[in-house]
């Protein structure tokens, strides 16, 4: 067997292979043996048809085709192993010469794990900058909790600011009903600014069953296809309610959980919000550190890796949408987009995430990071214990695939730990 390997752009390899007539003889015999086992002829037991009879029954084309397949599979894996290639996805095969009594010639194009030339990642710098939780932030969260505990008292008077209303509305632009621009019994608290500027002001003074039509202009920073355009609204009030907010005191705090007082609640909130801000600061620092390394690398990223990352992003987003009870196709329609547009918009992010993944992998190789089975098992147990149906989950999930995922999570943590340590030492 002769073969040559040619480098192509985007971390691809073109492998040209020639298998001699003598070698092909072996594959032709193996192909005949394999195909003959499936022949059923009167007078012969299954799988026991003589070779000469089987050969006549099958024909040269069928035997030659099977022999080519066996030869390509066998030689391809030998070449991959001998040259220590790390292929990604399925190879593209093209037979360039095939005829009985002649050598088999074919070409294979494969994407391989790219070679990465890292810059000096020992020079990364940065530090965690955690936002301090002040009293104003605590009070804002308290007000949010207060609103969640509000009660609503139906009233027959005209709607005022801070009242809760339920409305039917319809939106038209240039006389055409706006797609997704209508709703029935839509809940709204007047003054929260959830609608087009000016919309909520027009509802003030309206009573139950009252209808009103008015025009408004969409702001310039609104959706591109609507920015600056005039819209006509038709609104009907179905319900007006006064929002009754509970008094914020010790009793209010006790009603929210195991808190002894309002001060105890605020102390707990400050602790939780601080932990959340520390997490955000850590993620921001990690992003900064890995970006510094990624800026210095030289790599040709295979399209197959970017496409895989893009599909992962889409599937993750799709799952999040469907969990809210909305069909993914319906969501795309509501936001005036489609899957192709979404992929085009997310392509740069998929490329960046792929590049980051390759950098993380290369650092782990250079640092010779090892992950033990015990570490993976511990991480799996820690993750699954938060699910109430852990036993059922273990029974139905692909545990080995999940373990591979957890191994990746552990590896990333170790890489970031190294980079954070380097950044810390570089501060001195």
Q: Based on the domain organization, do 302 and 408 belong to the same domain?
A: yes
Q: Which pLDDT value is given to residue 427?
A: 79
pLDDT of residue 235: 96
Most confident of the following: 35-39, 305-309, 385-389: 305-309
* 121 within domain boundaries: no
Does residue 428 register a pLDDT over 90? no
The arithmetic mean of pLDDT across residues 152-163, rounded, is 95
The yes-or-no verdict on residue 128 having pLDDT over 80 is yes
Residue 120 lies in a domain: no
What pLDDT band is residue 331 in, cutting at 50, 70 and 90? confident
pLDDT at 38 over 80: no
Classified as helix, coil or strand, 163 is coil
Tokens read off for 70: 């066996």
* Residue 55 sits in the same domain as residue 97: yes
pLDDT at 48: 66
Say which CATH number the domain at 293 has. 1.10.3120.10
| 159 sits in which H/E element | none
For residue 262, pLDDT over 80 is answered with yes
| pLDDT given at position 42 | 65
Evaluate whether 197 touches 257 at the Cβ level (below 8 Å).
Answer: no
Q: What is the pLDDT of residue 19?
A: 95
Confidence (pLDDT) at 387 = 84
**pLDDT of amino acid 291:** 93
Please check the confidence at residue 361 and state whether its pLDDT lies above 70. Answer: yes
Rounded-to-integer distance, Cα 427 and Cα 421, Å: 10
- Assigned domain for 143 exists: no
* Bridge partners, 95 (sequence order): 106
Element (H, E) at 59: none
pLDDT of residue 194: 87
Residue of 107, 111, 117, 118 whose CA lies nearest to 85: 111
Same domain, 93 and 177: no
Q: Is residue 6 situated within a structural domain?
A: yes
- Same-domain pairing of 192 and 306: no
**Do 191 and 93 share a structural domain?**
no
How would you write 336-362 as a 3-class SS string?
Answer: CCCHHHHHHHHHHHHHHHHHHHHHHHH
Residue where a domain terminates, one of 244, 267, 286: 244
Statement to judge: residues 237 and 283 lie in one domain? no
Q: Is residue 142 part of a domain?
A: no
Backbone angles phi, psi at 323, to 5 degrees: -70, -20
Q: Please indicate, yes or no, whether residues 173 and 67 belong to a single structural domain of this protein.
A: no
For residue 21, give every residue at least 6 positions away whose Cβ sits within 8 Å of its Cβ, in sequence order, or none. 101, 102, 103
Residues 167 and 235 in one domain: yes
**Domain ranges, residue 9:** 2-112
Is residue 340 included in any domain, yes or no? Answer: yes
185-219 pLDDT, tens digit per residue, is: 999 999 988 889 999 999 999 999 999 999 999 98
Q: Where are the alpha helices (DSSP H) in 124-249?
A: 135-148, 199-203
Instruction: Assess contact for 213 and 233: CB atoms under 8 A.
Output: yes
Nearest to 54 by CA among 25, 33, 70, 71: 33
The answer to whether position 413 is within a domain reads yes
- The whole-number average pLDDT for the span 350-354 is 93
Looking at the 3D structure of the chain, how many domains does it have? 3
Backbone angles phi, psi at 304, to 5 degrees: -65, -35
Clarify whether residues 297 and 378 are in a common domain.
yes
The pLDDT, as a whole number, for residue 36 is 80
Task: Please report the pLDDT score of residue 45 as a whole number.
Answer: 65
User: Are 293 and 222 within one domain?
Assistant: no
Residues 207-259 have pLDDT tens digits of: 999 999 999 999 888 877 788 999 999 999 999 999 999 999 999 999 998 89
In a domain, 268, yes or no: no
pLDDT mean over 381-391:
86
Same domain, 67 and 185: no
Element of type H or E holding 53: helix 51-58
Average of per-residue pLDDT values in the chain: 91
Q: What is the per-residue pLDDT for 416?
A: 95
Which pLDDT score, from 0 to 100, does residue 386 have?
85
DSSP string for residues in 375-419: HHHHHHHHHHTTSTTHHHHHHHS-HHHHHHHHHHHHHHHHHHHHH
Give the three-state DSSP class for 217.
strand
Last residue of some domain: 51, 83, 112? Answer: 112
| Residues 107-138: b if buried by 16+ CB within 10 A, e if exposed | bbebbbebebebeebeebebebebeebeeeeb
Residue 189 is part of a domain; what is its CATH number? 3.10.50.40
CATH of the domain at 75: 3.30.70.1050
Helix or strand run (H / E) with residue 268: helix 262-294
Q: Note whether 284 and 408 are same-domain residues.
A: yes
Mean of pLDDT values over 356-379:
94
Phi/psi for 143 (5° steps) reads -65, -35
pLDDT at 419 over 70: yes
């Amino acid at each position: 067997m002769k073969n040559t390997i040619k480098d192509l752009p985007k971390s691809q390899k073109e492998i040209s292979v020639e298998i001699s007539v003598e070698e092909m003889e072996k594959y032709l015999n193996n192909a005949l043996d394999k195909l003959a086992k499936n022949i059923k002829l009167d007078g012969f037991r299954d799988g026991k048809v003589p070779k000469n009879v089987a050969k006549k029954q099958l024909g040269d084309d069928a035997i030659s085709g099977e022999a080519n397949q066996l030869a390509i599979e066998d030689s391809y894996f030998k070449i991959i192993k001998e040259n220590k290639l790390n292929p990604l996805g399925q190879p593209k095969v093209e037979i360039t010469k095939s005829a009985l009594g002649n050598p088999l010639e074919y070409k294979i194009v494969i994407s391989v794990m790219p070679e990465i030339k890292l810059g000096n990642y020992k020079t990364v710098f940065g530090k965690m900058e955690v936002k301090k939780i002040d009293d104003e932030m605590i009070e804002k969260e308290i007000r949010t909790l207060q609103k969640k505990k509000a009660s609503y008292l139906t009233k027959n008077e005209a709607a005022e600011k801070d009242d809760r209303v339920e409305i039917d509305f319809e939106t038209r632009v240039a006389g055409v009903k706006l797609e997704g621009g209508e709703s029935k019994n839509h809940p709204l608290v007047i003054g929260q600014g959830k609608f087009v500027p000016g919309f909520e002001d027009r509802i003030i003074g309206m009573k139950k069953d009252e209808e009103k039509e008015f025009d408004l202009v969409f702001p310039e920073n609104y959706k591109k296809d609507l920015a600056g355009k005039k819209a006509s609204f038709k609104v009907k009030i179905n319900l007006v309610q006064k929002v009754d907010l509970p008094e914020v005191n010790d009793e209010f705090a006790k009603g929210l959980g195991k808190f002894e007082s309002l001060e105890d609640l605020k102390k707990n909130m400050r602790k939780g919000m601080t932990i959340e801000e520390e997490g955000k600061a850590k993620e921001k620092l990690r992003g900064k550190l890995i970006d510094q390394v990624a800026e210095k690398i030289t790599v040709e990223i295979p399209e197959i890796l970017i496409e895989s990352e893009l599909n992962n992003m889409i599937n993750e987003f799709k799952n999040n949408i469907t969990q809210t009870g909305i069909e993914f196709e319906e969501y795309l329609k509501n936001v005036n987009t489609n899957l192709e547009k979404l992929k085009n918009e997310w392509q740069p992010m998929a490329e960046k995430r792929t590049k980051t993944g390759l950098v993380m992998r290369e650092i782990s190789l250079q640092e010779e990071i090892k992950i033990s089975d015990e570490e993976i098992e511990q991480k799996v147990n820690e993750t699954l214990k938060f699910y109430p149906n852990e036993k059922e989950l273990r029974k139905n999930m692909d545990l080995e695939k999940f373990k591979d995922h957890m191994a990746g999570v552990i590896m990333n943590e170790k890489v970031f730990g190294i980079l954070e340590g380097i950044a810390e030492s570089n501060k001195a």
